Structure 1
Amino acid sequence: MENRPSPQPSEGCLTVVVRVPVRIVVFVLVVPVRMVWDLLVAGAKVLRRRVFTPLWRVLVVIPSGWSYRVVLTPAGHAIAWLGRVVGAGLGAVGRGLAAAGAWGVRMLLVAPSVWVYRVVLAPAGRAVGWVLSGVWLGLAWVGRGVGRGLVRAGRGIGAGLARVGKGVGVGLVWGLRALFVWPWSALWRRVLAPVLRYGLVVPAAWLYRYVLIPVGHGTARLVTLAGAGLAALGVLLLVVPARWLYRAVLTPLGRGALVVVREIGVAIGFAWRAAGFVSRAVGRGLAWLVRNFVGLPVRWVYATLLTPVGHWVRDAVLRPARRALREAGRAARQALVSARETVRTARRDAWRALVGGPARELPEHRARTLGSTTTASGAVPAPEISLSKAEG
């Protein structure tokens, strides 16, 4: 047999009447909210990718990594090494102090105590033990003799006293019974017991059996009948109207409110999904408009106008200016070299005029030249000294 779908329960007229207006109203209200929500979500994503993530990396991640690698790791290694060194030193000092303390305790306390115990206390204790043992043996012998005599005398005296006490006890028992037990027993048995039985117990039992029990049963039946009547009256006045109100008024109202709330929830979900489709369609349309009416013209302007103009500016203006600046710099360096040679020649002539004789030339250092930025390998820069110091 084929699997047939289970029949869906039929929807009431209230559901059909409420559904269409509610969906229209909710759709009109939800579409702007969904579009604003999509705009906010897109803006938040752009901010997160373009602003917050780079700021987080620049302000937090990179400084944290740099501080961890450059500051915290060396500081931690240094602290760990210092801790190991200090711990090793403290351990060595502690072991030394412990060894010294143990040696001092052993030499100052243990050894003298052992010597005193072996030489003084042990012999003295043995002597005192011998003396006390002798004294105890003597006292024990004397005590055994005295105890045997006392036991024999006590046995005779105890036998006589036991016979006398037995006779006196029997007489006292009979006397106490005659004075305190027999009169009161006869009074209870002959007087008090009959009076209490026939004067109190028998009338109370008759009153309970023939009066109180029938009255109690009647009262209980009366209370039962009154409770049943009050319960019936309460059901008639409260339960029946409440049940009618629940069945005729509250149940239809609750079902209608439940249908309205359910339809509003379903309409909000449907409108939110439909608004999502509308929002995506509007977004695609705006993206198409921006791409065709802004992006393509801008690309055309950039490719057709700005790129040739930029190439012309680069080839006709920037490169000649750069070449001219380079030639001017080279000419300036040549002028500086010529000026340096002129100053050197003037200084030699002035020295020859003041001192006389040929002036010695300062050795030229190959480490650095005025017109070159390279430095010879293995050359040491010449010291800055005057000609007079070099001659002297």
Structure 2
Amino acid sequence: MEALNPPPRRPPDGCLAVAIRIPVRIVVLVLVVPVRMAWDALVVIGRLTRDTVLRPLGRALLWIGRALFVWPLVGLWRYLLVPVGKALAWLATVLLVVPAVWLHRHVLTPVGQALARLARGVGAGLVRVTRGVGAGLAWVHARVLRPVGHALTRLLRGIGAALAALGTGVYTALAWLGRYLIAVPARWLYTWVLTPVGHVVAGCARGLGWLLGLLAAGIGLVFHWTARILLVLPALALWRWILAPAGRVLAVVARELGDALGHAWRVAGRISRAVGRALGTLLRWVFVEPVRWLYRTVLTPAGHVVRDVVLRPAATAARAVGRAAREALTSARDTVRQARAEFRRLLLGEPAPPAAVDRREPVARDTRTLGRSKTALTKD
């Protein structure tokens, strides 16, 4: 992948970058080494604190939280709320559901069926009455209302035709008067008065606009050259001859400072790792190896002696005592069982012997053979 995607090449550094690089790296290395060693020490202390203090403390707090909150709530739910809920559900079923089902089945259902039959009878009667009323209304509509409606329609048609003829004459008269009293004078006024006056006003407005535009262009040109000479050219010269070179120098310094910080941090990490390994080796030879030697050469033989002389005989004796106690408990349990059986036999008498059941296979002619086509269950 590195061969396929080579890192971008940096442009060659100038003499300024080379002159700044070595002093800056030396100074930054001197300043960064204590910081990196302090950081590594804090990391080691933090990991040690996490593994030896915080994690066991968290586990202990978790166990305490379970013991104080979770387990009591689980016990409360399992041994109190669930039985109480089941008892309440049983009481609700007995006191509410069963009576409600009986009431619905033996009271409400018969009453509802009776009401449905009554409603069907009443509906049939209302349908018959409605049919009679509908027949009467149909006769009234056919014999009375329809002739009256036809007569009114013919009368209204005649009145409408008369009013339409009158309205047409009035509209024609009003249209002729409006044309020769309003439209013709207005058209003459627009053609011979307003149009010439409008052309004259439009020409004056165009000339005034051209004059104002020319004046504004001159003022804008004056302001443009004034702002360019007083502001733009000094700002451009400041940017080109002062700010841009200073920015390039600061960019080189910042880049070299960043590279120096990265290089110094990596070098300080190696120095810190070497110092840490040296301190770890020193602590191992000063503390760990003596403790290990003491454990191997002193504590382990002493522990073996204690195990062989004290712990194993004590364990053997404890096992013998436990075995004797179990045998005593077994014999006591058998004695109690026999005494209970004797007391039951004394009070109730001997139990009836079980009936003998012949569980053997059928023999002789009842068995199935190669010459017979029926089994013992379907006998001849």
Indicate whether 1:261 and 2:254 are aligned: yes
Q: Percent identity?
A: 31
SS in 1 for 2:12: coil
Map residues 84-233 of structure 1 onto 2, 5 A cutoff.
86-87=88-89, 90=92, 93-94=96-97, 97-98=100-101, 100-101=103-104, 103-118=106-121, 120-123=122-125, 125-127=127-129, 129-130=131-132, 132-134=134-136, 136-137=138-139, 140-144=142-146, 150=151, 154=155, 158=158, 166=165, 180-181=177-178, 184-185=181-182, 189=184, 194=188, 197-209=191-203, 211-233=204-226
Give me the whole-angstrom Cα distance separating, in 1, the residues matched to 2:164 and 2:69.
Answer: 108
* Residue of structure 2 equivalent to 1:24: 26
SS in 2 for 1:234: helix
SS in 1 for 2:11: coil
* Residue of structure 1 equivalent to 2:348: none
* Residue of structure 2 equivalent to 1:244: 237
* Residue of structure 2 equivalent to 1:38: 40
Deviation at 1:11, TM superposition (A): 0.9
Aligned amino acid, residue 108 of structure 2: V
CA 1:218 to 1:64, structure 2 compared with 1: closer, same or farther past 3 Å? same
CA 1:208 to 1:170, structure 2 compared with 1: closer, same or farther past 3 Å? closer
Does 45-54 or 97-106 show the bigger shift? 97-106
Give me the whole-angstrom Cα distance separating, in 1, the residues matched to 2:35 and 2:215.
Answer: 72
Q: What are the Cα deviations for residues 122-175 of structure 1, in whole angstroms up to 9, with x where unaligned?
A: 235414532552464256324455567x479949x949x967985x66775676
Aligned amino acid, residue 227 of structure 1: G
Aligned amino acid, residue 40 of structure 1: L
* Residue of structure 2 equivalent to 1:285: 278
Give me the whole-angstrom Cα distance separating, in 1, the residues matched to 2:59 and 2:255.
Answer: 48
SS in 2 for 1:252: helix
User: Is the radius of gyration larger for structure 1 or structure 2?
Assistant: 1
CA 1:170 to 1:53, structure 2 compared with 1: closer, same or farther past 3 Å? closer
SS in 2 for 1:9: coil
Q: What are the Cα deviations for residues 66-109 of structure 1, in whole angstroms up to 9, with x where unaligned?
A: 986x6565555445566566556656743652563365333334
| Equivalent residue pairs, number | 313
CA 1:232 to 1:87, structure 2 compared with 1: closer, same or farther past 3 Å? farther
* Residue of structure 2 equivalent to 1:50: 52
CA 1:90 to 1:202, structure 2 compared with 1: closer, same or farther past 3 Å? same
Aligned amino acid, residue 55 of structure 1: L
Q: What are the Cα deviations for residues 318-355 of structure 1, in whole angstroms up to 9, with x where unaligned?
A: x9xx9xxxxxxxxxxxxxxxxxxxxxxxxxxxxxxxxx
* Residue of structure 1 equivalent to 2:376: none
Give me the whole-angstrom Cα distance separating, in 2, the residues matched to 1:307 and 1:182.
Answer: 135
Indicate whether 1:274 and 2:277 are aligned: no
- Greater RCO structure (CA 8 Å; 6+ sep): 2
Q: TM-score, normalised by structure 2?
A: 0.62
Does 125-134 or 42-51 show the bigger shift? 125-134
Deviation at 1:264, TM superposition (A): 1.9
Give me the whole-angstrom Cα distance separating, in 2, the residues matched to 1:152 and 1:59.
Answer: 99
Gaps of 5+ in 1: 323-371, 381-392
Aligned amino acid, residue 208 of structure 1: A
Give me the whole-angstrom Cα distance separating, in 1, the residues matched to 2:231 and 2:178.
Answer: 73
Give me the whole-angstrom Cα distance separating, in 2, the residues matched to 1:164 and 1:291.
Answer: 127
Deviation at 1:59, TM superposition (A): 3.4
Aligned amino acid, residue 206 of structure 1: V
Give me the whole-angstrom Cα distance separating, in 1, the residues matched to 2:196 and 2:141.
Answer: 79
RMSD: 4.9
CA 1:227 to 1:297, structure 2 compared with 1: closer, same or farther past 3 Å? same
CA 1:35 to 1:122, structure 2 compared with 1: closer, same or farther past 3 Å? same
Give me the whole-angstrom Cα distance separating, in 2, the residues matched to 1:228 and 1:268.
Answer: 54
Give me the whole-angstrom Cα distance separating, in 1, the residues matched to 2:224 and 2:40.
Answer: 64
Give me the whole-angstrom Cα distance separating, in 2, the residues matched to 1:5 and 1:151.
Answer: 104
Gaps of 5+ in 2: 311-323, 334-380
Give me the whole-angstrom Cα distance separating, in 2, the residues matched to 1:171 and 1:292.
Answer: 133
Deviation at 1:206, TM superposition (A): 3.4
Give me the whole-angstrom Cα distance separating, in 2, the residues matched to 1:94 and 1:62.
Answer: 45
CA 1:23 to 1:96, structure 2 compared with 1: closer, same or farther past 3 Å? farther
CA 1:77 to 1:36, structure 2 compared with 1: closer, same or farther past 3 Å? same
SS in 2 for 1:260: helix
Deviation at 1:58, TM superposition (A): 3.2
Q: What are the Cα deviations for residues 364-390 of structure 1, in whole angstroms up to 9, with x where unaligned?
A: xxxxxxxx999944359xxxxxxxxxx
Give me the whole-angstrom Cα distance separating, in 1, the residues matched to 2:299 and 2:90.
Answer: 73
